Amino acid sequence: MQPNAARAVMARPGASFAGLCGLMLLVTPALAGDRALIDVIGYSQDADYFAFEEFGIQDGSGFAYSNIYVVNLETDSWALGTPVRVRADDETATLSQIRAEAQAKAAETIASLEIDVPAEMAALVGDGAPGVEAQALRFGAPGYEPGAVMGDYELRLSSFATTAAAPCADWFSVDPMGYQLTVSADGTERVVHRDESLPRSRGCPVTYRLYGVTLPFNAGSVEGAVALISVYPGGFEGPDRRFLAVPLGL
C-alpha cells in the first residue's frame, strides 16, 4: 500500500460514507499483537556468552521498545545486569531512538564479556514461509563448498499445558503453555529443555515456533549452537511474539 492510499480514499469526491468505511477496511491493518523482530548481536570470544536484541512497537500503546539479552551458555541463565529493557513513554520516540538507548545501556556489559564474535545463522524458518508449522528443523555447520554441511542434527519442539507465575486464567482465560525441545543425531535423541512452572518473565504463552539456529562465525562445528524459539504470550490485542535463546550443548 502506498503511504497516501488511505488519504486518497478519504479525498475521493462523491464517495458515500458506507463506501469509504468499506474501503478503509481494505487499507487499515486488523488489530493484532505485536510481532517483535530479532537482531543477533553475537558471541563472546570464549563462546560462553550469547547476546541478542528483540525490538518492536507495542500493541495497544504504540510505544517502541527494545530488550537486550545476554545468555550464559554454560548455565543457561541471564548474565548479571541483563536483560536491558527500554520502552518509550509516548509515541514520539522512534524505534531507532529506543534501540540506540538500549544498545548504549548494554554496551558496558557487551564489552566486558568481549561479545564481539559475529553469529552465523546456520538454519532459519522464515516468517513468510506459508504452511510451515516450525516444530522441526534440521541443521549442521555450514561448510566452505556450496551446499556442504558438517553434521546432521534435528530439533523437535512440542508444547503442553503447565503452570505459570503469572495469573494466566485471570488475564486471558487460557492455560499457559510450556515447551520441550529435543535434538537428535545418529539415531539418538536428547532432551535439551523441558519446562516446569513458567517464570513470570515468560508471561502466558499460547504457542511456540522454531525460528533458527546460530553458530559462532567460522565455528567449523556445531559447538556453541543456540536455538532461537519464537514464543507467543498473550498481549493487549492478541498474542505477541518474543524470543527465547536455548543453548544446545553440542
Could you read off the pLDDT of 111-122 as tens digits, one per residue?
999 999 999 999
- Segment 199-215 shows an average pLDDT of 96
What is the pTM assigned to this prediction?
0.85
Edge-first strand order for the sheet with 136-142 is 136-142, 149-161, 177-185, 188-194
Work out the angle at residue 74's Cα, subtended by the Cα atoms of residues 150 and 186, and round it to the nearest 5 degrees: 30
- Segment 38-48 shows an average pLDDT of 97
- Segment 192-201 shows an average pLDDT of 95
Between CA 246 and CA 249 the distance in angstroms is 9
Pure H helices in 113-159: none
Burial 180-206 (b: 16+ CB within 10 A, else e): ebbbeeeeeeeebbebeebeeebbbbb
pLDDT at 25 over 60: no
Between CA 14 and CA 27 the distance in angstroms is 19
For residue 131, the model assigns a pLDDT of 92
Could you read off the pLDDT of 150-173 as tens digits, one per residue?
999 999 999 999 999 999 999 998
- Segment 223-243 shows an average pLDDT of 93
pLDDT at 5 over 90: no
pLDDT at 100 over 80: yes
Residue 162: which residues within 8 A CB-CB, separation 6 or more? 175, 176, 177, 178, 195, 196, 197, 198
Between CA 3 and CA 64 the distance in angstroms is 20
Strands 49-57 and 37-44 come out as antiparallel
For residue 32, the model assigns a pLDDT of 57
Question: Is the CB of residue 153 less than 8 Å from the CB of residue 175?
Answer: no
Between CA 176 and CA 159 the distance in angstroms is 10
pLDDT at 226 over 90: yes
Between CA 244 and CA 155 the distance in angstroms is 15
- DSSP-derived 3-state class of residue 35: strand
For residue 30, the model assigns a pLDDT of 46
Could you read off the pLDDT of 110-156 as tens digits, one per residue?
999 999 999 999 999 998 989 999 999 999 999 888 889 999 999 99
Q: In DSSP terms, which residues pair with 191 in a beta bridge?
A: 182
pLDDT at 16 over 60: no
pLDDT at 56 over 90: yes
The dihedrals phi and psi of 9, each to the nearest 5 degrees, come to -60, -45
What are the extents of the domains in the chain? Answer: 31-117, 118-250
Task: Give Cα separations from 148 to 23, 125, 136 (angstroms).
Answer: 50, 19, 21
Q: Which cell numbers hold the place of 19? A: 463506501
114: left (phi over 0), alpha (psi -120 to 50) or beta: left
